[in-house]
Chains A and B, each alone.
Chain A
Amino acid sequence: MAVQQDLATGAGLAVASAPMPPPRSEVGVIGWLRHNLFSSWSNGLLTVVALYLIWKLIDGILSWGIIHAVWSGEDGSACRVEGSGACWVFIKAKIGQFIYGRYPEGERWRVNLVFILACAGLVPLMVPRIPGKAWSAVYTFFIFPVIAFWLLTGSASGPGAGPIDLMGLCLAIVATVAFALSRSSSARVPPQTLRLAGGVCLVLAYPLLVRWLLSTSGLVDLRPVATELWGGLLVTLVVASVGITGSFPVGVALALGRRSRMPFVRWASVGFIEFVRGVPLITVLFMASVMLPLFLPAGVSFDKLLRALVGVALFAGAYMAETIRGGLQAIPRGQFEAAQALGLSYAQRMGLIILPQALKLVIPGIVNSFVGLFKDTSLVLIIGLFDVLGIVQLNLTDAKWFANSTAMTGYVFAALVFWVFCFGMSRYSQMIERRLAAGDRR
């Protein structure tokens, strides 16, 4: 009030009633520059240094990657010229290998089809706006893996393996019996237990039955392709996706085991987790490739890729377990007790009450583990599998393409592939995190 009266008595009432605009130097581009880049002498100096660095970086990238780069040619002769930049023609010539490895050229459509089918499952599952999540999940986790396995290996064709078919048949029969029994009220075992057992048997039986059907009908005859021929992006994606889907249940089981009230279960989980987390992945892979054949009875041998998959999944599972344990510890005791008071069984308590809350809490950690696992897939080259990095490294020894810049070009390509996937995963998790947190943010 006093101020207003003062102003009213003063001369400039009309001017003062509208607030004065801030000084020119405090707003707009100049104000932003002053505040963010030149707020003090030392800050100004830093800005100049940063500008110089950025100029150097952009100049280096442009002149190496575009201006002096080699875009065409038949071999590395153009890249051997003094002062030439990236040898992109090397990537162009080898791109087939980088994506498929030594997969036979006539059969590469099968890999493409698997990529397309994977996208068909993952896109509806991952984009929140698309409805029908349950069906996409069933497709992605039950139907797609079997089709992909059959397409990639082509193992469904060829002579049938008797015992495996028989096992599939037995499992299917058990599942049918269990479902039939769960209908009749006279059974001593509760119907939900029977239905659960039937479901498990059915899930196990179904891929075996599909295999049997495909091999006996002889409708589609695919040429078997040994996993030794797989390579490049195909191997990276197979190892990463199997590792991710395999490590998750392993991690959940180990985390629950570590929090269990049964002492022996707890000790076994702690021992496994701490052992695996204490050693480098290389030694685990060495163990899978060198020691596993010794552990098996004579004559039994595992595929090399499968050995790496088991190693990666178990390794990542131990890390996953620690992340999930963090989430479990953050759930208040009351939630456990309330679930118990409602008379829920252990599986129901965990599956319906505790895990949904705990997993939501640790999504960033879980995705971090996934990103770590994706990067770790590059280590399989040490035991002689050729992922993206491995196949690039292999092709660098090609004398036809020998040049000073070839190595860097190949690595930049591989780095871009890894970066796109890892960065994409972390950005996607941030989006999901925001969506899930929407309920807490009112």
Chain B
Amino acid sequence: MAVTGIAARAPRRTPSLLDLLYRPEVRQVLFQIILIIALAALFWMIISNTAANLRRQNIASGFGFWNTTAGFDISQTLIPYTNTSTYGRVFWVGLTNTLLVASIGIVFATMVGFIMGIARLSTNWLIARLATVYVETIRNIPLLLQLFVWYFAVLKTLPPPRQSLELVGGAVLNLRGLYLPEPLPQPGFQIPLAVLALGVLASIAIAVWAKRRQRLTGAQFHTGLAALVLIVVLPAAAYFLAGAPLEFDYPTLRGFNYTGGIVVLPEFLALVLGLVIYTGAFIAEIVRAGIQGVPKGQKEAASAIGLSTGQTLRLVVIPQAMRIIIPPLTSNYLNLIKNSSLAVAIAYPDLVSVFAGTVLNQTGQAVEVILITMLVYLSLSLFTSLLMNWFNARMALVER
């Protein structure tokens, strides 16, 4: 009865166009059509305006500039480059410089981050506090400011070459950069190298064999000791037996400057120091959270079955902590790669500095240059994510 009452009260209306608007499916389609039209209009406006502006300002478009002579010098080149090289060459020089600083930065930032992250969890109160001060100070100061400190306030106030600071092992530090002794292999150096290569291969083989044997019989093998002998002791012995066939080219003061050795530019040094210390603080927090994320019961169970502290860490805690650590670690690696573009502020010749800076200013082709630069960083990010996703998949918990 109640049902008929309601039905009676609700008057039947013929559905109108406005009612159609209240249907979710209709609305969704309409909304998307509006969005597509708006975006298309935006892009069309941008493209037509850009074309008109470029025509008006007489700026060439297209990639013709790629093969034009650049005509400027670059302070650090990993591939052959002179000022008669092309803009295309400049791009590759900048890209290799970016890759160099990013890869060195990633390696050292990971080391600093893991050491500091573990130090924050140290049972030693002072060490834990020191690590906390490091993390809380560095994380809250902009990277650009830290780069300026390293470059302008530290490395650029070093003494000139004549009063250089002498470091251990014949290295020299002064206003012009860090001078390291350069190893020069002499004839006969191939022998210890070959022994080293063989030692690495043999160690891998032994590791595989030992693992299989342990799985089958439970008997353990001193893989680490064997590897130490094969990789360190034997090549060292071969090196000295062959008569130490390695000489060093030490940097020496000639006139007003040092010659010889490997020169590390102060710009490079400042960028690596800044990136490593800044990113290290973030990685330290990730490592700490990862280790704390492993349930306490896991550690207790490990010690209950008689594993030593080292074994507990190596076999139980770290593999589980890695699952928590890897995804945020990836995004920090990506940040480091992107942050290396701050090189432009301290004149380290990276991709943004020489390509999106100097080349853009000389050619005026902002659209092409910025687009290429963005594409490079996009693909670098994509590549690193893929690599880390693969690593993550290997480390992830295998469930049924």
Contacts and interface: CB of A to CB of B under 8 A. Distances in A.
A265 B378 contact: no
Contacts of B373: 283
A389 B145 contact: yes
Contacts of A291: 366-367, 370
A275 B46 CA distance: 18
Contacts of B35: 264-265, 268
B72 interface: no
| B45, B126, B142, B360: residue with the most chain A Cβ atoms closer than 10 Å | B142
A352 to B, nearest CB: 18
B142 A295 contact: no
B75 interface: no
B339 interface: yes
B382 interface: yes
Chain B, interface residues (CB within 8 Å), range: 35 or more
Interface in A398-442: 404, 407-408, 411, 414-415, 418-419, 422-423, 426
Q: What DSSP secondary structure best describes chain A's contact surface?
A: helix
A415 B338 contact: no
B53 interface: yes
A278 B28 contact: no
B377 A283 contact: yes
Contacts of A382: 344-345
Contacts of B52: 297-298
B54 A290 contact: no
Interface string B133-156: 000110111111100110011101
A415 B126 contact: no
B77 to A, nearest CB: 22
B50 interface: yes
Interface in B342-400: 342, 344-345, 352, 356, 360, 366-367, 370, 373-374, 377-378, 381-382
B124 A47 contact: yes
Contact of A375 (B50, B141, B149, B156): B141
Contact of B370 (A262, A290, A407): A290
B145 A294 contact: no
A27 to B, nearest CB: 16
Contacts of B143: 375
Contact of A37 (B18, B124, B137): B124
B123 interface: yes
Contact of B142 (A54, A265, A287, A389): A389
A53 interface: yes
Contacts of B157: 404, 407-408
A393 B148 contact: yes
B110 interface: no
A39 B123 contact: yes
A185 to B, nearest CB: 16
Contacts of A189: 18
Interface in A337-394: 371, 375-379, 381-382, 389, 393
Nearest to A378: B142
A294 B378 contact: no
A280 interface: yes
B126 A37 contact: yes
Contact of A415 (B28, B53, B56, B141): B141
Contacts of B366: 290-291, 294
Contacts of A282: 341-342, 344, 352
Interface in A83-133: none
A81 to B, nearest CB: 15
Interface in B327-343: 338-339, 341-342
A378 to B, nearest CB: 4
A419 B36 contact: no
Q: Which 4 A-B pairs have the closest CB atoms?
A: A422-B140, A36-B125, A280-B338, A50-B126
Interface of A: 36-37, 39, 43, 46-47, 50-51, 53-54, 188-189, 261-265, 268, 275, 277-283, 286-287, 290-291, 293-298, 371, 375-379, 381-382, 389, 393, 396, 404, 407-408, 411, 414-415, 418-419, 422-423, 426
Given A283-B374, A294-B54, A378-B144, 10 more contacts: A37-B124, A46-B124, A282-B344, A282-B352, A294-B53, A298-B53, A376-B142, A389-B148, A415-B141, A415-B149
20 contacts: A36-B125, A37-B124, A39-B124, A43-B124, A46-B126, A47-B127, A50-B130, A265-B35, A279-B374, A279-B377, A280-B338, A282-B342, A286-B370, A291-B370, A294-B49, A379-B342, A396-B152, A411-B145, A411-B148, A423-B140
